[in-house]
Amino acid sequence: MVGGKLIEIMPMRLRSGRDVLRLWVVETQPGYEGECAVFCEPTDRLPALGDTIWWQGREILFDRDRQKLRKVGYSFDPSRDSGGASHD
């Protein structure tokens, strides 16, 4: 399980051409300080900035686990890696 406080939602396109949203979080779990990001399928049903989200397997959960997003790929360090997104 990975997650944290949501600080950015950014529409992006993977190198494969697939449109995704990048969710960037500040990790809040003790011992896991840092930032992490994950992609999800585009949707209108999103958490708000400042909300806590977490993910495991193919799901991203928020709103006290009452709402889910479909995760795309793996989580990554957004300060070091694009996670497979193109930055055109």
Asked, for residue 16, whether it belongs to a domain, the answer is yes
Residue 47 domain boundaries:
2-80
Strands of the chain (E only): list them. Answer: 2-14, 19-27, 34-40, 52-56, 59-62, 67-76, 85-86
**pLDDT the model gives residue 87:** 47
Domain membership flag for residue 88: no
Q: Is residue 26 part of a domain?
A: yes
Mean pLDDT of the 69-79 span: 91
Find out whether 25 and 6 touch, Cβ atoms under 8 Å: yes
State which of 21-25, 29-33, 75-79 shows the largest mean pLDDT.
Answer: 21-25
- pLDDT range class, residue 85, cuts 50, 70, 90: low
CATH number at residue 68: 2.40.50
What pLDDT sits at residue 46?
Answer: 97
pLDDT at position 51 is 97
Instruction: Return the pLDDT at 73.
Output: 93
**CA–CA gap between residue 21 and residue 72 (Å, rounded):** 9
Distance of CA 50 to the CA centre of its chain: 13
Tokens of 50: 């400042």
Flag whether 15 is in a domain: yes
Please count the structural domains in the chain: 1
Mean pLDDT score, 17-45 = 90
